[in-house]
Chains A and B, each alone.
Chain A
């Protein structure tokens, strides 16, 4: 059997392959040869074969059949074998395979080998990929080597200990004694690894941290020596002595000084010294300065030192080196919360970085810019950010748009400015805004009552230009649906009102319906908007026509809407004005999203929710009119009853609000109605996020001997209140008090007026319909005060 080909021979051969297939063929051939060689238990060439296998593994080919061979190599006496064996173990084995445990004994033996390089191999392998079990078994050996005077082994043992601690934190204690005089070493390798070990221990255990605080003076001394000592060729990097060690010491000082006045005080001077004396012409000096800045910001440093640190970062921002600028922006981002004013001073430099060509820097600059926006600089900053939004990569646009919306919401100097800013974002980056922006914007627009005319005009004009950006189109459709009357009547005060006819508006909305660019969601918005205009425009016939056409649309959602709107025209025309009325001001919930009346995907609004289920209500037309006329028409806002019994709460927000409504003040329940065996009790809760909202739960019980079916509860309140009725639990009130129907009413009472309510009950009892009206005036004072 000829000798297996040499490693370098194989590498050369494989590199001549011209195609992937050719390479694969060569590899397969060689693997087969190696396999049979392994089977023959050939000791001489095992090393060579494993080395070749490792090369092929690096090319991406499977090499697991070599795992056991690595173990055999490790067990061999030849150093060459061990070297390759351990390398193979580190590359091919890991703790997932049980086979790795077979290494433990070999490593143990090698840790006690007479040759330090063998010991080194074992320490390195253990410190790189040792599993928890291996670490547990061998920790004692590592600890022994940590105390040796051989610096070659000591430094490796220290890092091995770090790995052991990471894998098995409980073993940390056992290394404590060995750390006693680690820092008195002269050897830099040992010093460096010792600092790493100490850092690891301090990070993991507060006890260790307090224990090691006493090392601060020693660390300061070592650092001082490094800085003050003359040129030392062995550790010099561009005129700086052992920057790696300096950085690690600074890091350890950071951990020790954090939250501790005495330690911070003890390191103050050295930090100032490093900060002022370090050479900044090369990267290495800046690396040390960077670490120093991080340390200064984290410990309890005196203000002068902090200002020094921020100024260093400020200088970094002006550095030609991109890396330095990037690192400065990252650090400033970390400190902007705690040292806001100091960072503000560098605002203009930071904003300039938005124009940097480098993507990483632009991103950091954007994040930092948003963090720096406040009430004073909002106008200027927004100008820069909007310009950035215009010109930045698509990857940034979504985040930038969201950031702008947030900043605008927090610091808008005026409502007009706010709307203008939103318009600008929608028109420049309209396709990139997040889905939840649409309902948020709708809520914002609704609540800016005096800007309605201006907003709808601007949005209309934007639509004329471009209908491709869906979020813009959706918000615009919604607004036109709501405020179309303001648009055609030319009521805008903020700018020159445009002349537009009803037909032109309907042209635009219908255009959205047929356009290829519109998504199904957008189409839904336009259809609803068109429907809403039926109560605001006079072109009723045109609208009816559109609605009836879409009654046979392929899109199920559109079809359903059209069918229901059609039904509105045909059977429930009297309800149409009420249903399609102007939206009230929306309450902001604790989650900062739109209130219960709008679902979080922005797709539906309450009118749609209502109209969807309207056909199932069986009351005759005239009674609805009665409801509207209840209290003389002037001072009543009629309420829309929502939904069929089995439908759950319409948006997650409502349910969350209900669950959050645990108030500490208990309001006594009251009986609102008691007649003919039907008792309706009201129980109260106060809405936690908003004390102006009273949550009333009605409990209807029936003491008669027959069920009350088709039970419907309706309520009306005076105009200063707003009321919302949620779904009832059922529409059958069982006989003999066997159960109850519950329903939740939410009343918004911002003016804190005395609560009064008129209720209307309809049900069928023993085959005949029953109807009753009643006034409820006995609300306990706590429910509205």
Chain B
């Protein structure tokens, strides 16, 4: 499951999950290869653990061999699983940055935006993080990339004739 033989990954994000208060998954990004069954189990377990936490709790908890860092933004929980050596505080900043990027793109982002435009949420994530590591620390840069990539999609005319999806 970990990359390659030898070498212990001490700093690595294993997964990033977004889910609602009702336990509905809104986004899942996995940074290691796992079977569908394993993924489902992890999602179930982590959701269960996080959803029962009282409101003013610490944002970190220990689960199996991972640190879980989570934060609630309105009706959505942003949650990731880290390896032991990782810095939880900077991960909180990372989650916050992702929310800011979503907010920047959608303008006052809310859960519905992420439900109806989940693919965009993924695209934004992919401009921010690759393989569990941050690739760009400038908000403006991410915004620009998204804008330009979006513009490569079908023009308005094409869209009207043959809508994208």
**Which residues of A approach B to under 8 Å, CB–CB?**
6-8, 11, 15, 44-45, 47-48, 51-52, 54-55, 58-60, 78-80, 83-84, 87, 91, 94-96, 115, 117, 120, 123-124, 127-129, 131-132, 152, 155-156, 159-160, 162-163, 165-169, 188-189, 192-193, 196, 199, 203-204, 234-235, 237, 242-245, 247, 251, 283-284, 286-288, 290-291, 294, 322-327, 358-361, 363
Contact = CB atoms under 8 A, between A and B. Distances in A.
A168 B4 contact: yes
Contacts of A235: 137-138
Nearest to B117: A8
Contacts of A242: 137
B4 A286 contact: no
Contact of B92 (A167, A188, A283): A283
B145 interface: yes
B94 A244 contact: yes
Contacts of A167: 3-4
A51 B58 contact: no
B138 A58 contact: no
Given A58-B26, A234-B140, A290-B87, 11 more contacts: A11-B116, A52-B165, A165-B3, A189-B136, A193-B133, A204-B7, A243-B93, A290-B89, A294-B87, A324-B89, A360-B57
B160 interface: no
Given A51-B165, A54-B119, A94-B33, A128 B130 contact: yes
A619 B106 CA distance: 94
Interface residues of B, number: 62
B20 interface: no
Contacts of A120: 145, 149
Contact of A234 (B5, B133, B138, B153): B138
A162 B131 contact: yes
B7 to A, nearest CB: 4
Contacts of A6: 163, 165
Nearest to A10: B165
Nearest to A250: B87
B57 to A, nearest CB: 5
Q: Is the interface of A mostly helix, strand, loop or mixed?
A: helix
Most buried by A among B9, B90, B97: B90
Contacts of A188: 136-138
B10 A203 contact: yes
Interface in B84-124: 87-90, 92-94, 97, 115-116, 118-119, 122-123
B162 interface: yes
B22 interface: no
A650 to B, nearest CB: 38
Nearest to A47: B165
Contacts of A78: 154
A312 to B, nearest CB: 13
B153 A58 contact: no
Contact of B5 (A52, A169, A288): A169
B123 A87 contact: yes
Most buried by A among B10, B33, B137, B162: B137
Given A204-B7, A327-B88, A127 B134 contact: no
A166 B137 contact: no
B141 interface: yes
Given A58-B26, A163-B131, A193-B135, A244 B89 contact: no
Contacts of A204: 6-7
Given A166-B4, A361-B58, A48 B89 contact: no
B61 interface: yes
A117 B149 contact: yes
Given A128-B131, A132-B4, A196-B133, A237 B118 contact: no
Contacts of B92: 283, 287, 323
A359 B62 CA distance: 11
A8 B119 CA distance: 11
